[in-house]
Amino acid sequence: MKPPRQHPQELILGLVSVLETSCDATYDDKTVSTLERWFRDNLTTPVTAHKRVIPNQRFVIEKTLRELVDIIGCDLVITTGAIGPTRHDQVPESTLAVATRSLAGLADLLRRHTADSILSRPQAVLRDTPEQTSLIVNIDNDPGITDAFDSDKGEANSLFSSIRRCLQQVGGPEIDTVRPCAPETPLADSSSPATTAVSAESPDNKPTASTEEPGETATPAFHPDDLLTVTPNHTRLPADMTVIWMHGMGADNTDFADFPNRIVELGGPVCRFILPNAPVREISAHPGYPMRAWYDVFSDRFDDKEDQSGIEDTALKISRLITDLEALGIPRHRIVLGGFSQGAAMALYTGLRQKRALGGIIALSGYVPLAVELFNNASPAARETPIFMAHGNYDSVIAPYIAHRGARLIGELAPRLVWRTYDMDHEVRQEELADIVRFMNALA
């Protein structure tokens, strides 16, 4: 399903300013401003622009490009800056890393518009997703480009003509300018391998919808910097399932970034993992050591005194994320909620309270938070939701009896519970992962 558009031929445009040194979120270079103004003033069809200002770091550049294409659904992404010959200029390599096909002819045209065409290395590539094909181009951040787009010079119109033709050929929107376009330049095509898709959700384009909780809000579920999206890099098949996965206390969203690959290697479904980051906070049970955690912990006895407000706030954010994914066209029955340790606790708490059933819940080495309220607060949809819950018999972080007690409670409410134990500590073992794959295959 393609991203929703206000108009059938609306251009969804991404503009990325790559800074040479540090990233100031309030900074907006003149080239990006000029490009946005040119597209808005010259196109006869609507334009929705999503601007990003990021540091010249390869991981950040790749993540941003994948966010704009895979999550927001931009038809065209233009980056400015950092395309020189030095080792610090990371944009060309980052662009090729996210590409499925390269366009040598368009890249040559871009090079002719740079300040130093001999030393500049702009790239023009296509990135394919199950929903669409998007064009990503690099341009220089210099007065020559700004002047070309800030006037009626033919250079800008010529460049736009090639971009327009490319978008038409790959099934993009039919866009045009108010001025006659210059003769079109043929595009040469060559191949470039795709890599793992890693991106962050963005609040700029998300449809604001009500969550599973009462009332509506315009606040995004998570900041884009705190969302990581990963798909397997061992297959080109489209993702059949979307998994929202919460990490454990003291970890971050990269902790389970290898899970999509491991699931496919064991014969499981192709999954898109959405990995949010918990906020950094000081834990009452361990003062003086701020760490990422979904809620506060008051003692090492997890069921002693619990941070109810923190748990409820996080559950609301996760519910908003589920709603956002639905608004992007992902069916609810193909969304799985999962996590490890404290993240598993949040998966259980949130998933069991959804008004409509999810595709499934996976809870590893976790427990049921606010267990005394479960019977009163669990929704009827919990009976329809498949649940996989697993724990180590020698877990030194969350006592096995706490997890087992929660599993018994869930079993009385949710008949589709699968409970497994393993001879292990607070960890994930291959045997457990194989059982997860069998559970996920049964969801298909």
pLDDT reported for residue 29: 58
134 and 273 both lie in a single domain: no
Report yes or no on 5 lying in a domain. Answer: no
- Per-residue pLDDT tens over the stretch 392-409: 999 999 999 999 999 999
**Catalytic option among 75, 255, 324, 395:** 395
pLDDT reported for residue 35: 84
What is the Cα–Cα distance from 331 to 347, expressed in whole angstroms? 18
What's the gap between Cα 271 and its chain centre? 13
Burial state string for 331-367 with b = 16 or more CB within 10 A and e = fewer than 16 = eeebbbbbbbbbbbbbbbbbbbbbeebbbbbbbbbbb
What is the Cα–Cα distance from 385 to 367, expressed in whole angstroms? 17
Of 105, 96, 104, 106, nearest to 127 (Cα)?
96
Report yes or no on 4 lying in a domain. Answer: no
pTM value surpassing 0.75: no
Higher per-residue confidence, 106 vs 198:
106
316 and 389 both lie in a single domain: yes
Higher per-residue confidence, 49 vs 1:
49
pLDDT reported for residue 136: 96
Report yes or no on 373 lying in a domain. Answer: yes
Tokens found for residue 169? 């050929």
Over 60: is that where the pLDDT of 208 sits? Answer: no
176 and 206 both lie in a single domain: no
Looking at the structure of the chain, the number of domains it has is 2
Q: Span 250-262, mean pLDDT?
A: 92
Residue-range definition of the domain harbouring residue 129: 11-191
Over 50: is that where the pLDDT of 203 sits? Answer: no
| Composition of the chain by helix, strand, coil, percent to 5 | 35, 20, 45
- Per-residue pLDDT tens over the stretch 79-93: 988 888 888 899 999
Higher per-residue confidence, 189 vs 432:
432
pLDDT reported for residue 287: 86
- Per-residue pLDDT tens over the stretch 98-156: 999 999 888 888 887 776 778 889 999 999 988 889 999 998 876 666 565 655 444 56
**Catalytic option among 158, 162, 319, 341:** 341
22 is catalytic: no
209 and 77 both lie in a single domain: no
28 is catalytic: no
274 and 415 both lie in a single domain: yes
- pLDDT confidence band for 27 (50 / 70 / 90): very low
176 is catalytic: no
Over 50: is that where the pLDDT of 178 sits? Answer: no
256 and 374 both lie in a single domain: yes
279 and 163 both lie in a single domain: no
Going by their DSSP bridges, the two strands 11-19 and 76-80 should be labelled as: parallel
Structural Rg of the chain based on CA atoms: 24
Report yes or no on 148 lying in a domain. Answer: yes
Q: Span 383-387, mean pLDDT?
A: 93
**Catalytic option among 142, 258, 426, 435:** 426
CATH of the domain at 94: 3.40.980.10
Of 144, 172, 191, the residue that ends a domain is 191
Mean pLDDT of the chain: 82
27 and 79 both lie in a single domain: yes
155 and 230 both lie in a single domain: no
Report yes or no on 2 lying in a domain. Answer: no
Strands of 115-259 (E only): list them. 124-128, 133-139, 190-191, 198-199, 227-230, 241-246
Q: Span 348-354, mean pLDDT?
A: 96
- Per-residue pLDDT tens over the stretch 291-314: 999 999 988 777 678 999 999 999
